[in-house]
Amino acid sequence: MRLRCVVLDDFQGVATELADWSVVGERVEVVSLREHLGDEDALAAALAGYDIVVTLRERVPFPGSLIARLPRLKLLVASGMRNSVIDYAACEAHGVTVCGTASSSTPPVELTWALLLGLARGIVQENTALRGDGPWQSTVGADLHGRRLGLLGLGKIGSRVAQVGLAFGMRVSAWSRHLTEERAAEVGVELARSKEELLASSDFVSVHLALGDRTRGLLGAAELALMKPTAYLVNTSRAAIVDQDALLAALHEGRIAGAGIDVFDIEPLPAGHPMRTAPRLLATPHLGYVSHANYTTYYGQAVEDIRAWLDGSPVRRLPG
């Protein structure tokens, strides 16, 4: 009898197309779910009949309480090599092997610039007007050359965003709690003396920090108030780093020029959520990691993980 595998959150229906699942086809039956399962009871009911679960990034939490309700589960594959929403101790206690995959930082870098450029040049407004026989030219674009790009975080993604900013002729500065002048100099950017200085001096602010106790709520009402009324905020990192209520208030009151957001407190966003209709907001449905190359890696290596586990030699085990 074949084992059963389910792929979660296959919104585009491509999981079985972007990898060769036939290599495990004789031993594993694979199905994918295109609808998101938003609560533990729904997950427990839907996953009860599966031995293997493939989950995308950190979209679905796997706390100990859920693991305990899935006695048939034996292998959990998560895209990426870091996942903060899986209870690894519970997995070990219940005999569940956890494996990851590689993940490229290129797609979120590119999406960051898509949002930033879309905001700066009013792409959505102008395209909507043009296609709807509206006014010819209704916005005046914000320049990038000579303006300051402020980066909260200068890790793998932040440093690559910085390089693009420099190529545009922007002045780039960065801040994080442990960022040094030496590291900033390596990337060719200035070290802001404080978070407050970076926010107050930047024309564009982009968030590239990992979510943790020290970064949760890092940008609240007081911090957003430091930004110029002509400045833009971009967040392709984690929603909880920016206070969502404070951001909505700043957008509605016009205290910042706009925001480009790819991450939200609730995903998928419910119908009628305030973020769906907020003014001055260019929003995308968490597309930062969604690219053909990344998905090919995720699902291709998920198949490799399953095959290796079936052969008794799991690879890319988490936590690493």
51-60, pLDDT tens digit by residue? 999 999 999 9
Residue type, 288: G
Cα-trace Rg, the chain? 22
Q: Give the whole-angstrom CA distance, residue 314 versus residue 67.
A: 19
Mean of the per-residue pLDDT values of the chain? 97
Mean pLDDT of all residues in 244-249: 98
pTM: 0.94
Whether the pLDDT of residue 297 is over 80: the answer is yes
Q: What 8-state DSSP symbol labels residue 55? A: E
Catalytic option among 148, 160, 286, 316: 286
Asked if 267 is an active-site residue, the reply is yes
Asked if 317 is an active-site residue, the reply is no
Whether the pLDDT of residue 320 is over 80: the answer is no
Q: Give the whole-angstrom CA distance, residue 291 versus residue 152.
A: 24
Catalytic option among 57, 147, 208, 238: 238
For 227-253, letters b (16+ CB in 10 Å) and e give bbeebbbbbbbbbbbbbbebbbebbee
Asked if 238 is an active-site residue, the reply is yes
Mean pLDDT of all residues in 72-97: 97
Mean pLDDT of all residues in 17-33: 97
What is the predicted pLDDT for the residue at 38?
Answer: 86
Which of 233, 230, 202 is closest to 219 using CA atoms? 233
What is the predicted pLDDT for the residue at 183?
Answer: 97
Mean pLDDT of all residues in 128-149: 97
| Count of CA atoms in the C-beta half-sphere (13 A) of 210 | 10
150-203, pLDDT tens digit by residue? 999 999 999 999 999 999 999 999 999 999 999 999 999 999 999 999 999 999
Catalytic option among 29, 267, 280, 317: 267
Q: Give the whole-angstrom CA distance, residue 185 versus residue 173.
A: 10
What is the predicted pLDDT for the residue at 40?
Answer: 97
